[in-house]
Amino acid sequence: MQLDILTVCYLIGSVTFILGLKMLSNPATARKGNLIAAGGMGIAIFGTIFLYQTDNGKGLHNYVWIFSGLIIGSIIGTLAAKKVKMTSMPEMVSLFNGMGGACAALISAVEFDHVYREFRLDTNSFADSVPFVHYFTISAGAIIGGISFAGSIIAWGKLNGRIKDFSFNGQHILNLLVLGFVLSIAGFTYWSHASITNIWFLITLLSAFVYGVLFVLPIGGADMPVVISLLNSFTGIAAAFGGFLYNNKVMLTGGILVGAAGTLLTMLMCKAMNRSLMNVLIGSFGTKNAKATVGKQQGGNYKEITINDTATCMAYANKVMIVPGYGLAVAQAQHVCHELEKILDEKGVQVSYAIHPVAGRMPGHMNVLLAEADVSYDKLLEMEQANDEFKTTDVVLILGANDVVNPAAKSDAASPIYGMPILEVELAKSVIVNKRSMKPGYAGIENDLFFQPKTSMLFGDAKKVLQQLVSEIKNL
């Protein structure tokens, strides 16, 4: 009966994962979907703790350790999630994803230790007693989880500025050699003498960590949304191998869903940048190529606009489009931006937001940012829809976005971002760009848009500028 109840718990967990993921595809139902999936996970966890039994009828007994870990982890996770700033959200996602990869690697390590202790005294070779499929599942989970952990930690460090982009000639060849070494040692471990198999497995795991570091280290900041989603898929795949190990249906389902969703998201991110995944991993866009263009102006002069003139343009426009970027997140200005939107709405101005898929530092960064300020989901336009609307837009207000509105992606074949789909803001009647300075964006590329006749520069911190705009428009 207990086994039957546990199976039902796992079934409920699996169904809620699928429903939750489906609901996450729509901003209006995303929060509810997250809660449903979390509820299913809770049922699966507590069902395992209290109902799981081994073949000899024994259940879990070390409740002090289990609940200590649950309580400590829950407190740390809750505090971290509540205190994190929106600018640091990508780092938190990378860090938490890394913890998932580490967990999957540790599961594989624990299972390896279990079979090693059971068989090493009875055989000369590990392969004599351990089925290859079982060992393959263990090693795959350890390698992929190790790569995800190390890579996510490097991504976390690069996003918060603690680790700089680092590359050298031949680094990709070195990476391939290290990956080959990891796979070779993993294979050698299976056929090694049972007395030293654990040493070779440890070398395999450590080599996977090294590869994870080398894998992410040369990738430029502009490619971070792709890297984050790719590492997320790695963690899901590693978790799925853990589900195979213990024949745990809910862990298997969750891992497959995360792995598949991460892979699809990676493909969508690459499509949004008009690049292949191989080009992202080998091209290192945002480092070598981008640095070569830093400081190289495309020619022409830019013009500035005052707060008063900006307020007048927006207040008497029929249609205004706001393009949020990382600068908006840095200034924590999403709430003031929503206030500006509401004031313009009251004056009869049609206001909407143009969202580029890779704006910010992680997939969906701008959507999360604006959702925090309770911006209506109906006002968030995806890139294709926004591009159709720009032709009839009177004023476009760009808040900290840079590379995703750079016309060089369409006109300059020598540009590193050439071919990348962008928000075609230059089609609007007037473009106002809010930036702190004329420094290039995260990809390190000068923006042609700033020197076009339609474009006016509004310098300053996004939050202060928006607050001044709100005050000026109220007085008109």
Tell me how many helices (H) and strands (E) the chain has: 18, 6
Residue 219 φ/ψ region, left for φ over 0, alpha for ψ in the -120 to 50 degree band, beta for the rest: beta
Token pair 């307020």 in the structure block, residue: 311
Per-residue confidence (pLDDT) for residue 288, from 0 to 100: 43
Per-residue confidence (pLDDT) for residue 243, from 0 to 100: 92
Per-residue confidence (pLDDT) for residue 198, from 0 to 100: 87
Per-residue confidence (pLDDT) for residue 108, from 0 to 100: 94
Q: Structure pTM? A: 0.80
Question: Which amino acid appears at position 263 of this protein?
Answer: T
Per-residue confidence (pLDDT) for residue 296, from 0 to 100: 43
Q: Report whether 126 contacts 119 (CB < 8 A).
A: yes
Residue 460 φ/ψ region, left for φ over 0, alpha for ψ in the -120 to 50 degree band, beta for the rest: left
Per-residue confidence (pLDDT) for residue 393, from 0 to 100: 96
Per-residue confidence (pLDDT) for residue 109, from 0 to 100: 94
Asked if 403 is an active-site residue, the reply is: yes
What order of strands is seen across the sheet that includes strand 455-459?
380-382, 350-355, 319-324, 395-399, 430-435, 455-459
Alpha helix stretches (DSSP H) within 120-196: 132-159, 171-191
Per-residue confidence (pLDDT) for residue 289, from 0 to 100: 44
According to DSSP, the residues that pair with 432 across neighbouring strands are 397, 456
Q: Give dist(CA 76, CA 99) in Å, integer.
A: 12
Per-residue confidence (pLDDT) for residue 187, from 0 to 100: 92
CATH class for domain 307-475? alpha beta
Per-residue confidence (pLDDT) for residue 294, from 0 to 100: 40
Q: Give the active site residue among 403, 412, 448, 461.
A: 403
Nearest to 330 by CA among 406, 434, 469, 217: 434
Per-residue confidence (pLDDT) for residue 123, from 0 to 100: 60
Per-residue confidence (pLDDT) for residue 374, from 0 to 100: 87
476 residues of the chain, pLDDT tens digit each: 455 888 899 999 999 999 998 898 777 788 899 999 999 999 999 998 988 876 666 778 889 999 999 999 999 999 988 888 767 778 888 999 999 999 999 999 999 998 888 776 556 677 887 889 999 999 999 999 999 999 999 999 988 878 877 777 888 889 889 999 999 999 998 888 777 788 999 999 999 999 999 999 888 766 777 888 899 999 999 999 999 988 888 999 999 999 999 998 888 888 777 777 776 666 554 444 444 444 344 456 889 999 999 999 999 999 999 999 888 888 889 999 999 999 999 999 999 999 998 887 777 788 888 888 889 888 999 899 999 999 999 999 999 888 889 898 888 777 777 788 899 999 999 999 998 877 766 556 778 899 999 999 999 999 999 999 999 999 88
β-pairing, 455-459 vs 395-399, is unpaired
